[in-house]
Structure 1
Amino acid sequence: MSNPTDSRVLEALLKEQSAWASVCTEPAMVALAAAKAAHTLGEPPVSIDVYLSAGVLKNALSAGLPHTAKKGPEIAAALGALSAQPELGLTILGNVTETQLDEALELAASSKVTVHWAREHEGVYGKCVLKGANHVAEAVIEHSHTNITRVALDGRLAEACATEARRSDLQVLREWDFPRLLAAALDLSVSRLGWLLEGARSCVRLSEKASGLMSEDVIDFAWVCSSDSCETPIVEVANRVSRAISARMSGVPWPVVTSGGSGNQGIMVSVPVMSVAKHLGLDEELTIRALTIAHSVNLFVKAYMGEVSCSCGGVGAAAGIAAATCWMRNGTVEQMEEAVSQVLASLFGMICDGAKATCALKGTTSVLTGMLTGSGACRCRGSIRDQGVLGKTLDETLTRIAALNEGVINKADELMLNLMRPETTTPTQ
């Protein structure tokens, strides 16, 4: 039995970090901020300025948008401003009309939308400033993709925001250990977590239908699944995840549940867990508990690696898959912890070079590693410790990873952005 406060904290984090999103969450977040500013402005914008942290900018550059081959935060901001429907949240880009798209493409091409790299901000951060003929409005989102912390009109607060600016709530998980996290996850009421199952089912449906939706430029592993030499359920699940991510990164507006603020991670976590649960004949309650474990472990890892950083989010998703798979196969807490540790030792160092079509192949790697490690850990009787990034405990391993992430890997973001779009990397004023 966990501390009731722990369960409340974890439930709040799950609700914040596992929202519905139609396309990649970073361009959707840009559109949401622009929509909020446009709704506040109350008149057509004549210019739009977008300020984004490195991680958000990097992910918004190459992710696909609905009904167009064009990409970029300029178009996302224009679409959000023309929609002016912030109540749609991260599903906003899944509801654009053909007329709005044409107008947004014209607005973005007219140089009236300018994107800036907000170097002074880390993690999840975005600000949209819309100027009209008579007024100026701005909206700020930070710490999570839907957390609006400031709405202003002509420099004065236009409304009280639900959440004040703060450090990421995920950081509280760094004060927990794995058994405490697991106890809090298992103590949550299943009746309050049905939305995780609903979201997982939507992810599964996308993975089943994605063969006709995915990008033709991404390697399709369907032939592997039909090959006599590789016909295994795990490979088939990984292939479906790959297809779903490819479709989503191509701009297919399909609603999925996010994990740690990422729709791709939501797919990575949901599809394997649902597959294993079905294979083992688990009922709905146990399936929801397994999904809760997977999402919670992903958040636990992200508390150390960052919500948007230069480390691939598939690392945390794979850790969540491994923990949930081990739990569903009646693994012990120690075996689950070992599964997470070995996933981290295997995948840490896989970088994030932006949200794009080839995230599908990284998703395949994460799913295969998570499912295989989680299943194998159930037969494990020992542990590997104090080697490489592995410390004497999982806590020590995560602390080492955080130090490497902050001291080395995240420094690659500046170089990455200079390579991807150097004109955006001039300092903001």
Structure 2
Amino acid sequence: MGKHKILTILEKELVVSLGCTEPVAIALAAAKAKSYALGQIAEISVKASGNIIKNAKSVGIPGMTAKGLEFAAALGATAGDPNNQLEVLTGLGLYDEQTALKLIEAGKVTACQADTPKRLYIEVIVKTEKHTSRVVISDNHSKITLIEVDGKEVYHGGCENIGIQTDDEELEALTIDEVYEWILQADLNDLTLIKKSIELNRVIGMEGLAGDYGLNVGRTIKDNVKKGILSDDLATAAMSLAAAGSDARMAGSKLPVMANTGSGNQGIAVTLPVVAAAEKLQVSEEKMIRAVALSHLITIHIKSKFGRLSALCGVTAAGMGASGAIVYLLEGGLQQIKAAVQNTIGNVSGMICDGAKAGCAMKVSTCSNVAVQSALLALNNQEIQSTDGFIHNDVEKSIESFCKLGNEGTRQTDELILKLMLEK
């Protein structure tokens, strides 16, 4: 696979994001709709697919205390800058929160589930005394596919590509073999996005360790290492830093992160276990950068088949990428990298997604621990065999099976999870 094709994939799938992606996407749609409807807001209505509702219902929004779909839409419409894409809520504060809440208190903002087969769908209608505008985001958190003003279509996006931004033909040749060969020879000057992902995501990881965020999963692990209850080893280092990053992000930290395939939490889970392992092993900066690039690309490869939103937790795919990268840090070769991915698939495939929330940090911790465990088993030439479960001899076929499970085997589960969440 050509050098430039892989770089293009990285440029499309690694995007700086502020806040959990689902409420931010709602805010983006609302901000865009308001930009086409001059005048005082009379009404905002939001329709969203079940998976969007699941991930936007309870998660924190950067710098805010309020949560929910209505709040995200009101905040985006009153104070968001649509030109900032997934950083649409950058720089907002208490005044902006109060302004948005006044709209909600006045009964001017409503939200409901959209009647759509799409897993990622957001529709926001903003009405003022002068205009009515409608904006639709579908299949990708920042992909506006329709804009209508006063009933007239002013923009219609091109071909919708479910699951991932990169074109199918660009992804066809992306295999673990191809990724590994590319990682070995890649020019470090071409890996500036990887370096930025390390820098941004490490900062939020350290913030989570220092502050009081969500369930404090990462900080609790670190504190128990200090007490001698947990050992100061590779697994706890990976779990602590990665979970802390998720703690901060899910609780509404104002720090941006580098998202992977549309998910900031996934971006954290792809990078920080590898960064923590690299620091623990005291490898060179170059080795760490190449390892994180490997983790990103393996995860992109898996997510391109898995889809952006599923009843299964996307952090499991990040754990698969991280496991291969940790093998690379420990001087393992291609076959052991594949074995680590196989082991991770066989371990965490059934983890469900019940929405974005503080508890996601626990899932990040679990997948980080599994990534280390799977890597160590692979380095000892231990690999889940094709006689077990849906694992194949070929890792690419195992990935296909895992993705079929996520896409085809969990639709009823997804509906039930949402029903259980909305019954509370």
Question: Are 2:118 and 2:139, in contact at CA under 8 Å, matched by a contact in 1?
Answer: no
Q: CA separation in 2, counterparts of 1:140 and 1:390?
A: 39
1:146-190 Cα deviation digits (max 9, x unpaired): 2222223223343575x5433444683466542134345556543
Q: CA separation in 1, counterparts of 2:7 and 2:109?
A: 38
2:17 aligned with 1:16, yes or no?
A: no
Q: 1:382 to 1:92 in 2, by over 3 A?
A: closer
2:144 aligned with 1:143, yes or no?
A: no
Q: Which moved more, 1:57-66 or 1:107-116?
A: 107-116
Amino acid at match of 1:353: D
- Please report how far the alpha carbon of residue 422 of structure 1 lies from its aligned counterpart in structure 2 after TM superposition: 5.0
Q: CA separation in 2, counterparts of 1:186 and 1:111?
A: 57
- Does the residue aligned with 2:30 lie in a helix, a strand or coil? helix
Match of 1:47 in 2: 43
Gaps spanning 5+ residues in structure 1: where?
424-429
Question: Are 2:38 and 2:130, in contact at CA under 8 Å, matched by a contact in 1?
Answer: no
- Number of aligned residues: 418
TM-score when normalising by structure 2: 0.90
Question: Are 1:41 and 1:130, in contact at CA under 8 Å, matched by a contact in 2?
Answer: yes
- Does the residue aligned with 2:237 lie in a helix, a strand or coil? helix
- Please report how far the alpha carbon of residue 216 of structure 1 lies from its aligned counterpart in structure 2 after TM superposition: 5.5
Q: CA separation in 2, counterparts of 1:93 and 1:132?
A: 22
Match of 1:200 in 2: 198
Q: CA separation in 1, counterparts of 2:285 and 2:140?
A: 29
Q: CA separation in 2, counterparts of 1:251 and 1:331?
A: 38
Match runs of 1:151-230 below 5 Å: 151-159=147-155, 164-169=159-164, 172=168, 173=171, 176-184=174-182, 189-215=187-213, 217-219=215-217, 220-230=220-230
Q: 1:394 to 1:100 in 2, by over 3 A?
A: same
Q: CA separation in 2, counterparts of 1:241 and 1:194?
A: 21
- Does the residue aligned with 2:414 lie in a helix, a strand or coil? helix
Q: CA separation in 2, counterparts of 1:221 and 1:277?
A: 19
Question: Are 2:291 and 2:325, in contact at CA under 8 Å, matched by a contact in 1?
Answer: yes
- Does the residue aligned with 2:76 lie in a helix, a strand or coil? helix
Match of 1:271 in 2: 272
1:55-101 Cα deviation digits (max 9, x unpaired): 22210011012344321011001111012411222222242132211
Amino acid at match of 2:396: D
Q: 1:65 to 1:368 in 2, by over 3 A?
A: same
Match of 1:321 in 2: 322
Question: Are 1:55 and 1:122, in contact at CA under 8 Å, matched by a contact in 2?
Answer: no
Question: Are 1:63 and 1:250, in contact at CA under 8 Å, matched by a contact in 2?
Answer: yes
- Please report how far the alpha carbon of residue 197 of structure 1 lies from its aligned counterpart in structure 2 after TM superposition: 1.4
Question: Are 2:237 and 2:280, in contact at CA under 8 Å, matched by a contact in 1?
Answer: no
Q: Which moved more, 1:408-417 or 1:80-89?
A: 408-417
Match of 2:340 in 1: 339
Match runs of 1:16-415 below 5 Å: 16-159=12-155, 164-169=159-164, 172=168, 173=171, 176-184=174-182, 189-215=187-213, 217-219=215-217, 220-233=220-233, 234-380=235-381, 384-415=385-416
Question: Are 1:61 and 1:72, in contact at CA under 8 Å, matched by a contact in 2?
Answer: yes
Q: Which moved more, 1:414-423 or 1:394-403?
A: 414-423
Question: Are 2:251 and 2:358, in contact at CA under 8 Å, matched by a contact in 1?
Answer: yes
Taking every aligned residue pair, what percent have the same amino acid on both sides?
27
Give the aligned CA root-mean-square deviation in angstroms. 2.4
Q: CA separation in 1, counterparts of 2:140 and 2:286?
A: 28
Amino acid at match of 2:317: G
Q: CA separation in 2, counterparts of 1:175 and 1:130?
A: 43
- Does the residue aligned with 1:49 lie in a helix, a strand or coil? strand
TM-score when normalising by structure 1: 0.89
- Please report how far the alpha carbon of residue 383 of structure 1 lies from its aligned counterpart in structure 2 after TM superposition: 5.7
Q: CA separation in 1, counterparts of 2:341 and 2:105?
A: 46
Q: 1:410 to 1:188 in 2, by over 3 A?
A: farther
